[in-house]
Amino acid sequence: MIQLPDLTGRRAVVTGANTGLGFVSAASLARAGADVVVTARDGTKGTAALERIHREQPEARLSLAHLDLADLGSVAAFAGEQLRSGPLDILMNNAGLMLVPQRQWTKDGFELQMGVNHLGHFALTSRLLPLLEQSTSGRVVSLSSLAHRITGPLDPRLGSVGSYDALGNYSQSKLACALFGFELDRRLKAAGSSVSSVVAHPGYCATELFSRQPQPGLVDRLTGAVALVVGSRPQHGVQSQLRAATDANLHGGELLGPRFLIRGGPVRERPASNARDLASASLLWDLSGAVTGAVFDL
């Protein structure tokens, strides 16, 4: 388990923080002294998460905010509220969906996994970047997955047309998260920004992503069972994204993951070649901006 620095006086936003990796991230950042904005799509679950953290940490500085990454209107409303709250030091783009059995759509017409995992976070980051710029060392963390290593090059259709495969579309969405995180850092550096962007993945982690579907298929159930046996628990899987968010020795553009690939302490690792492709990263940036309307001042 890594030791977090003193985060007193620093403010963090963690998406999807009512459960799994997001919950452990929010609790860990709060324990280190940060003021943490816990976002959740379900208000009841979000409230329960805050109450659970407060039972263990009565002095934790937490606030709950509604955020549905499958709805760009919700993203805009949340960001508008945050713009009145002062500088932001950490944006942890954690929320995600996995293995949605049939193709589904976000409110804005994007394939659901790509819409929540990447496009919603792309739009959110663009809106919160002015707050991150107000920090002396703002940090954006994009959560990718080992699955980015098992997919091909970026599909510019972003999962919206063609045949649908739950794992294939999930893998493409997590490739998009990595491509975005690296491209964001390149553009931040080119603009002379003090903000940095780091990508992380949890390895093979047993979280509620494996049990969230109402009618999981046999493959989904077996995948979840294997994760419970060989995968790490959230409190261990979360270490990569916590280091990505807080390690001052990281300068942006890194990928962090477990030392032994599926589990272990967080270390820097080399991304798959498809995540290092500059042409794909630039294409994804342009496509994401076009479909979401998000604009970065970079």
**Within 10 Å of residue 122's Cβ, how many Cβ atoms?**
25
Collapsing DSSP states into helix, strand and coil, what is residue 267?
strand
Instruction: Kindly name the residue from 23, 110, 170, 180 that is annotated as catalytic.
Output: 170
The one-letter amino acid at 293: G
Strands 266-268 and 255-258: antiparallel
- Measure the CA dihedral 75/79/80/82, to 10°: 150
Q: What letter would DSSP give residue 3?
A: P
**Within 10 Å of residue 208's Cβ, how many Cβ atoms?**
14
Element (H, E) at 65: strand 61-66
20 near 209, Cβ under 8 Å? yes
Active site residue 164: no
Structure tokens at 21: 């990796």
The DSSP string of 31-46 is: HTT-EEEEEESSHHHH
Distance CA(22)–CA(12), nearest Å, equals: 12
Residues designated catalytic:
170
